Chains A and B, each alone.
Chain A
Amino acid sequence: MSAATHGYGHGPFDPEALGMPAVYTLNLSAAQRSILEWLTSQGAVFDPIAADVEQIAHDCGTSVSTVYESLARLESLNLVDHPDPGSYRINPRYFFSSNPEIRRLVGEALAAPEITPDARAEAPRKVGNTDARRRRTIKAVRDEE
């Protein structure tokens, strides 16, 4: 079954949005949005990163308790995953909200028919005419006298 036919989360899977509503509709506070941006700029979209809460608070100009509260809200929204203590990763679906071209392409790929190998793809590769000729050519070996 393709991913397009699965149900994700609470609603049916929408290949147009790829399960990520527009960020501005989530009513994020300034601290929550800043922390999301901080995590994104540190590469947390692609891999879990070890994030120091005090460093986040310093960079975003908030208090440490605000950072904890914000991370908790982002976690409750499933925007941020917290696999280990001190390690954070942004939900990969968020990537598509800031990369609409790729979202469109992935959405189209999910809706497009699958590529099916035909009989020729199963058969051994045909040797080209040039290759066949090269094999038949016998080169003279120089006489070393």
Chain B
Amino acid sequence: MARRGNIALVDLGSGAVLPAPKPRTPHTMDGSYTLNAYTDDAPLYSLALSGAEWATIDWVRSNGGAGAAVKVTAGAAAEAIHVTETTAKTALARLVKLNILLKTSPRSSTYQLNPRRFWEGSGEAQVQACRRLDPPAITPDKKAIDAAKKAAAKAEEKAAAKTPGPRRVDSRTTTGGTSR
């Protein structure tokens, strides 16, 4: 996956590295705002998320996970969304795998919703969060791809069933009556 590395502004004529651009001018979006971005990432409805996974996203979001990393334990999530702890753990693991939830470090239990897709807070903080987390795109996993393939095959099957086949020739008219 292509990730952003260290980039610099270079004068193509002389090859000299130009100084960093001037600091950003503050603007109105520096105040708090909510972002529900529908970017070119895979839409959430196409990822074959389970009910528990959807509920986990909504629960993390309502607990401030869209603006900062929050501590999430499987027990607390399970209690809030009325599922077993194992289901909550599985849901958290799949959301991390899909890059919807980002872990601040591999061993910690703090999670943040991908700031490319969800954000609540100031614009400056979002820029910093994006720099720190370098959020990867939300990518469908095998389960999502299989579900999409299955849906496409089903739709094709249905379309084929709808299209009328070649007209059946009535044997009675050609043979001059029934064989009985």
Contact = CB atoms under 8 A, between A and B. Distances in A.
A61 B147 contact: yes
In this complex, which of B33, B45, B54 has the most chain A Cβ atoms within 10 angstroms of its Cβ?
B45
A101 interface: yes
Interface in A1-29: 22-24, 27-29
Contacts, number: 76
Contacts of B58: 22-24
Interface in A62-86: 62-63
A28 B34 contact: no
B34 A29 contact: no
Nearest to B77: A24
Interface residues of B, number: 32
B45 A101 contact: no
A68 to B, nearest CB: 15
Interface of B: 32-34, 36, 38, 43-46, 48-51, 53-56, 58-59, 61-62, 80-82, 120, 147-148, 150-152, 154-155
Contacts of A49: none
B137 to A, nearest CB: 17
Chain A interface category by residue count: 20 to 34
Contact of A24 (B43, B44, B55, B152): B55
A113 B33 CA distance: 24
B43 A37 contact: yes
Interface string A94-111: 000011111000000000
